[in-house]
Structure 1
Amino acid sequence: MKHRIATRSSLFLLTAILAARAGAVPASEPASGPDLQRHQPQIDQIVSHISPQRIEGYIRKLVGFKTRHTMSDTVSDTEGIGAARRWIKAELERCGAADGGRLQVAFDSHISPVSARISKPTEVVNVVATLPGTQPASAARMYVVSGHYDSRNSDIMDASGAAPGANDDASGTAAVMEMACVMARHHFDATLVFMTVAGEEQGLLGATHWAEQASARKLDIAGMFTNDIIGSSHDEHGKIDNTQVRLFAEGLPVQKENSATVRTLVQTGGENDSLSRQLARAVKAAGERYVPGFKVNIIQRRDRYLRGGDHMPFLERGYAALRFTEPAEDFSHQHQDLRTENGKVYGDLPQFDDFDYIARVARVNAAALASLALAPAAPRQVQVRTAQLENDTALLWQPNAEPDLAGYRVVWRATDAPDWQGAQFVGKVTGYRVPLSKDNYYFGVQAVDQDGNVSPASYPVPLR
């Protein structure tokens, strides 16, 4: 395919060149194309409808099942993981029915064999609610959000003792349920999948099963994030921080042998431009835009130090995946038997949750999901020309298929900057020449629709 390469006006070109030579990063973007700063009324409405009161009700109901250990009772209607999953499914079905019946709710089940944390073959059941996309060109693209509804106490194998799991992870489960119920009232171009998974504490069993099936079916999962331990705004010393959430984003994947994609990232210095890092930038931009005063703090690790969560099975299968977690965990209220010692209460109880804080995290999730599902797909096959030595950077890409596409946006940043510093909307072209050196800047290309919804950036690889 022959690419059309656009250039900027001579005035902006001169400004960019002079700024680059002076060591600055030109950031101005002429007022052409859609208004990228305008809030989408639909997303504002979604964010405003996230309710801390409903989230609290979900958490207290989940805690009321006494334990949700993966190997706990499945017969009782009042205790154990079986009762919990049936209640979650019924609640999501109730929400779906109230909002037109488009939310498709189902169990996703498999038998997990005996392993280090499973003493007998055990049915592990995810509750999955799918909201199909309504734009045919986008509906196959999916965004997945999860929380795990199983719980544990001090003994990982104790399937009958009290394990309320109010924060770990009724908080994430409640956030996902609230998002599903609110967002089921709306239409999105791409498909949204809301999952509450089991078996996390026993080895990420439910998430791994679903990710395996998704990979085998070659599902187009453009982004996944899990919410795990998002319930508390205070640390073990009582210090309150309700103004931010940690968002863990992997750079280079953990692999025995590097793939061609990873080798290209390393060769071109793109370790900070993996699919997950690009997704994290998009989530941060949308979250902070629609939830003002609340910071999405990108942590450049796949998870907390040598720890893991339900996004990891997706990372291992090549999907972009992220983890939301509160600013500072209080370990006296996590994986602990209920007890009081020297006047200090141990255990993961609702009294230690901050429901307003959980709602803020859920709003960030919902804003990001809505923005991503309304935006076009990230541009494909983005390349940088390397046939000749030059100080400009020529970018090429394949056209998007979405009918509401307005055009593309080229973004750039200095090599020591974590986020994009400059941008230029370039219209419906498939190539663009930037008067900045690929030696000194990182580049990306985003797709923009007619309403101003923006995709994550795609990192350009060398055109040999």
Structure 2
Amino acid sequence: MRLPVTIALCLLFISSRGQNPAKTFPEAEDNWKQGKYIEALTGFKQVLNGRDGEAWLDRIALTTGELYQVNELSADGKLARFSPDGSYAIFEKIENGRDISVYYSIAGRKTGIIEGKNLLIGNGQLVFLRTIPTDSLTAAAKRRDEQLKTIGNDPTRRAQVNNAYNKLAAAQTFLFSYDLKKKKTVQLLPKGYLVSELVAGPGLNNLYLLALKEGNAYPAVYKLALEDRKVTELVTGKNFPGGLQVSPAGDKLLFEYLPRFAYAASDVKPERAEGTVLVDLADQSIKQFPGRIAAVNAAFTRFMYLVKDDAQNILAVTNTDNFKLEVVYTTDKLIADPVFSPDGSKAALAVKLLDDYEIFTVDLATKQATRITSEIQHDRLPVFIGNDRLMAAKGEPRHRRSYLYDLKTGESIKLFHNNTVRTLVPEYDWEPDVSGRYVLVTAERDGNTISPERGVYLADLGQKVTKTEVLARIEADIKAETDLRTRGEASYAKIAELVRSVTSQASVHRVYDYENSLFKFGSKHITQPGNNKAAEYLFDQYKSFGYEPQYQWFTPRASTAKTANVFAVLKGTVNPEIVYVVSSHYDSVVIGPGADDDASGTAALLEAARILADHPMPCTIIFASFTAEEAGLQGSREFVRQAQANHMQIAGALNNDMIGWANDSRLDNTIRYSNPGIRDIQHAAAFLFTNMVTYDVVYYKSTDAQSYYDAYGDIVGGIGSYPVLGSPYYHQWNDFLETINHQLVIEVAKTTAATLMLLASSPSRLKGVAAHKEEDGSYKVSWQASPEKDVTGYIVRYTDAKGKKEQVAVKGLSVTLNAAAAKSLVEVKAVNQREMQGWDWARVEL
């Protein structure tokens, strides 16, 4: 019997009110850790809607995303910071080749913009540097862009090209002020000053500049009074100042003498006078002392130094009146990142214990050290948020996440998230304001590490998310996760039993044997004997599986010895000319054996090749073990070069790199992709056929996946630990076998095999999709024929003028849509004889 809706809702309400949150929440939390997200989210929803739901709000908010309110200031920004008084958030971006500064009023919640960089705000004035374009500078910018396209990702050459342009641009960059009330712009300095640093005293009354004056060989430090524009030279000499800082009271100026200066001629060298300089701005007296300071307190009366004495690393403090060092912390471990608390009573620092850094605080009066973090990943970059809270970054430098630590209770919480289940958010910069309430975060909230845009976000530590907001977050995540699972199950429906049969053959014991054998070769860098030994081992393994493997020998750059990619081919039964490649690199860095980077990926590759050896798919699969990844992706570049020369039709590629390290009980990894179709297939492969929990991020740069992308475009997927994890053994001598979770490696092998089976059984993504508007207002959409021989038709999906999603089946290579909405997307897939749809939509905007 079907109950009336009103009765069913009442029963649901009574049921939810009768929930025992003390039981429901732990069950939901356990489901969350196992990757059973729909069940977990449903449980969290029941707890929030049940009796005393508010009492569980913080824990559920932190599990599913953010606890504090976060406001996106821009989807594209950099150099985020606060004005000295904390009233404005400031950041920069580039629009149409011009530097743009954005200032956001915290109290007024209003945004202003001005052309320029290095923006300072105070007393109703904006001060900034603005580059005035000229024809010659525009031409130089064009030459720079053309050069950057041709030199690829070589960091040295890119820096040379950028620096050459920056020197030209500096000559056309001038200092201006803008009166917010009068709306008037004034140039503050005459021509002839190349300003490289700019800071301000309180109220923006005085500016302090590091500038190279025309005709001088060395830069100097200048004071500029904003009211009368009087310029006073404070410090000069045959040295290169840098890192200007002004005390909050405006009575002291601090900087260091550095070994070089960006605008100095290449043949000009400094005197040997590196050290720290303190200027008393009242009488312009100067105190200079050796060494580079590690931190300064808010009053500019105490400095911290990192000093090495024999085998000991020392944190020392000195007062500016006598510069006598006082040792406050000593260890034989590496130490880094020291900072003062706002009241100057404590220091925080990072100490490397065994393999990873941990955060400590030191009471400067008693010299008592307290450990704050205890985590396998690196904990770095502590910053005090008030005197009793710390913010620190967790993880490997490219993909850190921010956490808040309560120094009184010892509790920690994550600061930032994107409030979704699967997509990860790499964070890069954090800046707290003087009050400790607000934090600026620079991050890629969309999980896209490839696009140049990085978002700027304002976290309000004084305002938590509401129950309504968390419930809305949960509803959105349930919908997204349900959709992902529904699509994944549908994609695998025709071959699920076969996939399950194949993946069940995977053996963790075999995976361990592969890893152990590779580990015994030691370093497998192209300069080490272990490289050729590993290549021979891989050749023999592929042969033992029944393949006819091949070496692909070449001589890498900066080497006289040859090295080889090793690959095996599983020829397709229906469309052998269409190829899917799965790869991992077997070489390592010089100093280590590379158990995780990337013997783990190589072991997963071998096991996927073994279990698929007797199960050829309709399309061809190539298993490729690349060399020379650690020498600049040279092995994958060579493989792709030869593939293109031989007109190989690579339709999709997976690359697994660093997949074996785990820091907790979870078996989790990251899908690193360019193609969203492959991403969703890999999620489905993981949750349908393995025990691994997968997240995702757009990521392929500086990995072998980039070689595929550069040659074949958007066809990339694969698995890696970053950024969900940050192994402390990355590129270290102790990247040893005992740090590897072998069960995690086998789950990656199964996910990889399952992904390949679907890709190689499905039509590839179509090409040449185009749309043309007819005279009657309809749209004709056409596409190239699918290259697969067994395609029987196509599916076209579009949005009609009423906003409704429609789908039609088509036999030919075009369709006329009479009711499609303008500016909407039309998506097309092929369908084959087994009724399997293409693994990704081809898209065109009307």
On whether the aligned pair clears a TM of 0.5, the verdict is: yes
Identify if the C-alpha distance between structure 1 residues 246 and 422 changes in structure 2 by more than 3 Å, giving closer, same or farther.
Answer: farther
**Alignment partners' CA distance in 2, 1:443 and 1:289:** 29
Partner of 2:606: 177
Paired residue secondary structure (1:193): strand
**TM-aligned CA distance change 1:401 to 1:215, over 3 Å:** closer
Task: Give CA-to-partner distance per residue, 1:17-48, whole Å, 9 cap, x none.
Answer: xxxxxxx99x99xxxxxx75624132222222
Please give the per-residue CA displacement for 1:75-95, whole angstroms capped at 9, x wherever unaligned.
xxxxx1222111111111011
Query: Which residue pairs with 1:315 in the alignment?
Result: 709
Cα deviation 1:405-428 (Å, max 9, x = unaligned): 2432334699xxxxxx96746153
Question: How many Å separate the matches in 2 of 1:389 and 1:462?
Answer: 18
* Aligned partner (choices 735, 749, 754) of residue 362 of structure 1: 749
Listed one character per residue, the Cα deviations across residues 251-279 of structure 1 (whole Å, up to 9, x for unaligned) are: xxxxxxxxxxxxxxxxxxxxxxxxx3444
Alignment counterpart, residue 218 of structure 1, candidates 643, 647, 671: 647
User: Residues 89-104 of structure 1: matches in 2 within 5 Å?
Assistant: 89-96=539-546, 103-104=547-548
Residue type of the alignment partner of 2:572:
G
Matched, 1:144 2:581: yes
Letter of the 1:300 partner, please give it. V
- Structure with more relative contact order (C-alpha pairs < 8 Å, separation 6 or more): 1
Gaps of 5+ in 1: 1-23, 29-34, 74-79, 97-102, 115-119, 153-157, 251-275, 338-346, 415-420
Task: Tell me, yes or no, if the aligned pair for 2:764 and 2:840 is still in contact at 8 Å.
Answer: no
Aligned to 1:428: 811
Aligned in 2, Cα 1:452/1:55: closer, same or farther, shift over 3 Å? farther
TM-superposed CA distance for 1:434, in Å, is: 7.8
C-alpha displacement at 1:63, in angstroms?
0.5
Contact 1:384 1:393 in 2 (8 A): yes
What secondary structure is seen at the aligned counterpart in 1 of 2:769?
strand
Structure 1 residue 400: Cα displacement: 3.0
In structure 2, C-alpha distance between the alignment counterparts of 1:395 and 1:202, rounded to whole Å: 46
Spell out structure 1 runs of 4+ moving beyond 6 A.
Answer: none
CA 1:399–1:94: 2 relative to 1, 3 Å:
same
Quote the offset at 1:182 in angstroms. 1.1
Residue of structure 2 in register with 1:127 after alignment: 566
Per the alignment, in what secondary structure is the counterpart of residue 46 of structure 1?
Answer: helix
- Please give the secondary structure, in 2, of the residue aligned with 1:195: strand
Matched, 1:446 2:829: yes
Please name the residue that 2:536 is paired with: 86
Per the alignment, do residues 427 and 48 of structure 1 end up closer, same or farther by CA in structure 2, a change over 3 Å counting?
farther
Amino acid at match of 2:500: D
Cα distance change on mapping 1:37 and 1:193 into 2, 3 Å: closer
* Equivalent-residue separation in structure 1 for 2:799 and 2:724 (angstroms): 30
State the alpha-carbon separation in 1 of the partners of residues 690 and 743 from structure 2: 15
**1:188–1:370 Cα contact (<8 Å) kept:** yes
**C-alpha separation in 1, matches of 2:818 and 2:499:** 33
- TM-score under structure 1 normalisation? 0.69
Alpha-carbon displacement from aligned partner over 1:36-73 (angstroms, at most 9, x marks no partner): 56241322222222222211111111101122121112
Q: Which amino acid aligns with 2:712?
A: G
- Give 1:108's aligned residue: 552
TM-score (norm 2): 0.39
Distance 2:818 2:538 in 1: 51
What whole-Å deviation, never above 9, does each CA across 1:108-166 have from its counterpart, x for those lacking one? 0101131xxxxx4221211111111121xx211111111111112xxxxx4xx5x2211
Paired with 1:214 and 1:328, the residues of 2 have a C-alpha distance of 32
Q: 2:626 aligns with which of 197, 200, 222?
A: 197
Q: Match for 1:38 among 490, 493, 518?
A: 493
Pairing partner for 2:785 from 380, 388, 399:
399
Which entry has the higher C-alpha Rg, 1 or 2?
Answer: 2
Q: 1:408 to 1:298 in 2, by over 3 A?
A: farther
CA offset digits 1:204-233 (Å, max 9, x no partner) = 111111111112222111111210001122
Alignment: residue pair count? 354
The answer for the alignment partner of 2:666 in structure 1 is 241
Letter in 2 for 1:184: A
Structure-1 separation of matches of 2:538 and 2:752: 20
Cα distance in 2 between the residues matched to 1:298 and 1:333: 22
Aligned equivalent of 1:437, options 821, 824, 827: 821
What's the counterpart of residue 520 of structure 2? 64
Q: Give, as a single letter, the amino acid of the residue that structure 2 aligns with 1:321.
A: V
Deviation per CA, 1:294-317: give whole Å up to 9, x if none: 4443312434xxxx1111112111
Aligned to 1:332: 728
Change in Cα spacing, 1:289 to 1:397, as seen in structure 2 (3 Å) is farther
Identity of aligned residues (%): 24
| Matches of 1:457 and 1:438, distance apart in 2 | 23
Aligned-partner SS, 1:130: strand
**Matches of 2:499 and 2:522, distance apart in 1:** 36
Deviation at 1:361, TM superposition (A): 1.7
**Structure 1 residues 54-63 or 395-404, which shifts more?**
395-404
Q: Residues 141 and 221 of structure 1 are in contact (CA less than 8 Å); yes or no, is this contact kept in structure 2?
A: yes
Query: Secondary structure at the residue paired with 1:374?
Result: coil
Contact 1:406 1:427 in 2 (8 A): no
Corresponding residue SS for 1:400: coil
The answer to whether residue 820 in structure 2 is matched with residue 383 in structure 1 is no
Partner of 2:99: none
Q: 1:175 to 1:434 in 2, by over 3 A?
A: farther
| Partner-residue secondary structure (3-state), 1:248 | strand
Cα pair 1:407 1:425 within 8 Å, conserved: no
Q: Aligned letter for 1:430? A: L
Query: Structure 1 residues 422, 148: closer, same or farther in 2, change over 3 A?
Result: farther
Q: Cα 1:408–1:146, aligned 2, differ >3 Å: closer, same or farther?
A: same
Provide the secondary structure at the position in 2 that maps to 1:139: strand
| Distance in 2 between residues matched to 1:186 and 1:83, nearest whole Å | 29
In structure 1, C-alpha distance between the alignment counterparts of 2:538 and 2:557, rounded to whole Å? 25
Contact 1:309/1:323, CA 8 A, preserved across alignment: no
Match of residue 53 from structure 1: 509
Q: Which amino acid aligns with 1:456?
A: W
| Structure 1 letter corresponding to 2:700 | R
Distance 1:44 1:422, change over 3 A: farther
- SS of the counterpart of 2:661? coil
**Structure 2 unaligned residues grouped into runs of 5+:** 1-478, 484-489
Q: Quick one: which amino acid aligns to residue 147 of structure 1? A: S
